[in-house]
Amino acid sequence: MFRLFFQDNPFREAAKGMARGAFVTGLFLIGFGMLVFILRDLFAFLAAAIFFMAGFSAIGYAVRLFILQHKMKNTDDAYRKNVQIHYDDDDY
C-alpha cells in the first residue's frame, strides 16, 4: 500500500530527466542544422535583411542626434534656474 508513495532514487530520476532534455536538444540542433543547410539562401536573406534594418536604424539615430545637438547649439536661452555666475572685478 505504501509502495506507491516511494520512489526509487531521486538521482536516477534527475539523470533520466537530464538525458531526455539533452536528447531533445540534440534533435532540435540537428533539425535546425539541416534547415540551414537546405534553406541557406533564405537564411542568408533574413540575416542580410536584419543587418540592413539595423544599419538604417543606426543612421536614423545618428541623424536625430546631429539635429538635436545642432538645436542645442543654436538656442540662446542659456538660462539656468538657481544658477548665478559671479565675475571678479579685478580681471577686467
Return the domain boundaries, the chain: 7-38, 40-75
Angle (nearest 5°) at CA 73 between 72 and 74: 95
Most confident of 7-11, 42-46, 83-87: 42-46
The predicted-structure confidence for 25-79, as pLDDT tens digits, reads as follows: 999 999 999 988 999 999 899 999 999 999 999 999 999 999 988 887 766 565 6
Question: What pTM was estimated for this model as a whole?
Answer: 0.49
Torsional sign, CA 36, 41, 47, 49: negative
Q: CB of 60 within 8 A of CB of 53?
A: no
